[in-house]
Amino acid sequence: MKFTANTRIGTACGIAAIIFTIFSARLVHLHVAKHEEYSRLAAQKHSTRQPIHAKRGMILDRNGEILATNLPVRTLFADASHMKNPEALSSLVSSHLDLDQKEVLEKFLTGKKYIVLKRKVPEETALALLKDMQEKNLRGIYYEEDAIRIYPNSEVLGHVLGFLNHEGRAVQGVEMSMNGQLAGKDGYRFIERDRTGREIVLYRGVEEDPQHGKNIRLTIDMGLQSIVEEELDAAYKNLKPETANAVLVDPKSGAILAMACRPCFNPNEPGKSQPEQMKNRTIIDMVEPGSTFKIVVAAGALNEGKVDEKTTIFCENGRFAYGGRILRDHHGYGHMDVNEILVKSSNIGSAKLALLMGGDKFYEYVRRFGFGERLGIELPGEIPGLVHPPTRWDKLTITRMPMGHSIAVTPLQITMGMAVIANGGRLMAPRVIQSVEKENGEVTMKKEPIVMRDVVPEKTAQFVADALVGVTQPGGTAAFARVNGFQVAGKTGTAQKVSPQGGYAAGKYVVSFVGFMPAEDPKFVLLVMVDDAKIASNLNYGGLVAAPIFSRIAERAARHLDLTPTMPAIPLQPTPIASTSPAEERRD
Amino acid sequence: MNTALTTPVNSNPIQIGKIICVSTVVAILLAVGLGFVYIKNQQFSIGEQIRQTESKIHRVRAENDVLLAKVTEMTSRSALQERVKSGYIAVVTITGDKIARLTPPVQADETSALRTAFNEVGRQ
Angle formed at CA A67 by CA A65 and CA A71, multiple of 5 degrees: 115
Interchain contact, B66 vs A124, CB within 8 Å: yes
Cβ-nearest to B114 among A150, A482, A565? A565
CB A450 within 8 A of CB A427: no
Nearest to B123 among A234, A483, A574 (CB): A234
| From A152, A559, A572, residue closest to B118, measured CB to CB | A572
Is there a single domain that holds both residue A287 and residue A389?
Answer: yes
CB contact under 8 A, B114 and A484: yes
Question: B78 pLDDT exceeds 90?
Answer: no
| Confidence at A43, pLDDT banded by 50, 70, 90 | low
DSSP state of A529: E
Gap between the Cα atoms of A70 and A255, Å rounded: 26
- Residues sharing a CB contact under 8 Å with residue A530, sequence separation 6 or more, in sequence order: A235, A239, A241, A243, A244, A510, A511, A512, A545, A546, A549
pLDDT at A221 over 90: yes
**A201 and B47 in contact by Cβ < 8 A?**
yes
B 14-43: CB under 8 A from A: 43
Q: Is the pLDDT of residue A373 over 90?
A: yes
A196 touching chain B per CB within 8 A: no
Instruction: Identify whether residues A193 and A257 lie together within a single domain.
Output: no
A156 touches chain B (CB under 8 A): yes
CATH of residue A241: 3.40.710.10
How far is Cα of residue B24 from the mean position of the Cα atoms in its chain?
47
Tell me the C-alpha distance between A569 and B2, whole Å.
147
Same domain, A286 and A351: yes
Q: Which of residues 83-112 of B touch A (CB under 8 A)?
A: 103, 106, 109, 111-112
Any domain includes A9: no
Q: How many domains does chain A have?
A: 2
Chain A residue with Cα closest to B109: A569
Distance (Å, whole) CA A133 – CA A154: 36
pLDDT band, very low/low/confident/very high, at A65 (cuts 50, 70, 90):
very high
Residue that terminates a domain, selected from A185, A201, A217: A217
Distance CA A343, CA A473 (A): 9
Cβ-based neighbours of A30, under 8 Å, separated by 6 or more? A38
| Beta-carbon contacts below 8 Å between A and B | 124
To the nearest whole Å, the CA of B121 is away from the closest chain A CA by 7
Q: Which residues of B are less than 8 Å from A570 in CB distance?
A: 117
Give which of A253, A235, A116 is closest to A540, Cα–Cα: A235
Give the pLDDT confidence of A447-484 residue by residue, as tens digits.
Answer: 999 999 999 999 999 999 999 999 998 888 888 999 98
Shortest distance, CA B31 to any CA of chain A (angstroms): 23
The answer to whether residues A183 and A243 belong to one domain is no
A355 in the same domain as A501: yes
Average pLDDT, chain A: 90
Interface probe, candidates A131, A145, A220, A483, chain B, greatest B C-beta count within 10 A? A483
Alpha carbon distance A485, A73 (integer Å): 52
**Per-window interface: A 494-553 vs B, CB < 8 A:** 548-549, 551-552
Closest alpha carbon within chain A to B79: A153
> In a mutagenesis test of the B interface, which of A484, A486, A555 is the best target, namely the one with the most B β-carbons within 10 Å?
A484
Residue A177 lies in a domain: yes
Q: Write down the pLDDT at residue B7.
A: 56
Q: Contact at 8 Å (CB) between A99 and A115? A: no
Residues A376 and A460 in one domain: yes
What pLDDT does A190 receive?
84
Residue A562 Cα distances to A229, A275, A312, A461, A479, angstroms: 20, 38, 40, 26, 23
Q: Which chain A residues touch B66 with a CB distance below 8 Å?
A: 71-72, 122-124
Is residue A264 within 8 angstroms of chain B, CB to CB?
no
A8 assigned to some structural domain: no
Helices (H), A47-156: 86-97, 101-109, 123-135
User: Helices (DSSP H) in A138-242: which residue ranges?
Assistant: 158-161, 173-177, 179-183, 222-239
Phi, psi for residue A32 in degrees, rounded to 5: -100, -60
Is residue A574 included in any domain, yes or no?
Answer: no
Specify whether A343 is located in the same domain as A413. yes
> Which residues in chain A are contacts of B106 at CB distance < 8 A?
564-565
Lowest mean pLDDT among A16-30, B13-27, B107-121: B107-121
Instruction: Note the maximum CA span of chain B.
Output: 149
Closest Cα in chain A, distance from residue B17 (Å):
39
What residues in B contact A69, CB-CB < 8 Å? Answer: 68-69, 72
A84 vs A582 pLDDT, higher one: A84
Question: Do A222 and B77 count as a contact with CB atoms less than 8 A apart?
Answer: yes
Dist. CA A422–CA A369, nearest whole Å: 13
Report d(CA B37, CA A1) in Å as an integer: 61
Q: What is the pLDDT of residues A526-566, one digit of tens each?
A: 999 999 999 887 888 898 999 999 999 999 999 899 888 88
Q: Is A124 on the interface with B (CB under 8 A)?
A: yes
d(CA A495, CA A346): 14
Cβ atoms of A407 and A287 closer than 8 Å: no
* Annotated domain spans of chain B: 16-98
CB A231 within 8 A of CB A407: no
Domain of residue A104, CATH code: 3.90.1310.10
Residue of B nearest to A576 (CA): B122
Per-residue pLDDT for A521 more than 50? Answer: yes
- Contact status of A75 with chain B (Cβ, < 8 Å): no
Which of B69, B79, B106 comes nearest A150 by C-beta?
Answer: B69
Q: Does residue A335 fall inside a structural domain? A: yes
Paired sense of beta strands A524-531 and A243-249, if any: antiparallel
pLDDT over 70 percentage in chain A: 96
SS3 A170: strand
* Same domain for A256 and A136: no
Is a pLDDT exceeding 50 seen at residue A218?
yes
CB-based contact, B113 to chain A, within 8 Å? yes
A247 and A185 in one domain? no
pLDDT reported for residue B95:
75
At A270-302, the pLDDT tens digits run 989 999 999 999 999 999 999 999 999 999 999
Shared domain for A206 and A229, answered yes or no, is: no
Examine residue A10 and state whether it is found in any structural domain, yes or no: no
A209 & A232 share domain:
no
Instruction: Determine contact: A214 vs chain B, CB below 8 A.
Output: no
What range does the domain containing A353 cover? Answer: 222-264+280-435+448-561
Residue B5 in contact with partner chain A when CB distance is under 8 A = no
Residue of A nearest to B40 (CA): A202
How confident is the model at residue B94, as a pLDDT? 75
Are A181 and A231 members of one domain?
no
Closest residue by Cα to residue A162 from A266, A232, A248, A249? A266
Residues of B in contact with A482 (CB under 8 A): 116-118
Chain A nearest C-alpha distance from B65 (Å): 7
Q: Decide if A436 contacts A415 (C-beta within 8 A).
A: no
Decide: helix, strand or coil at residue A85.
coil
Q: What is the mean pLDDT of residues B108-115?
A: 48
Distance of CA A397 to the CA centre of its chain: 33
Question: Per-residue pLDDT for B103 more than 90?
Answer: no
Task: Pick from B77, B82, B106, B124 the residue to mutate for testing the A interface (most A CBs within 10 Å).
Answer: B77
Assess whether pLDDT exceeds 70 at residue A27: yes
Query: Least CA distance to B54: which residue of chain A?
Result: A201
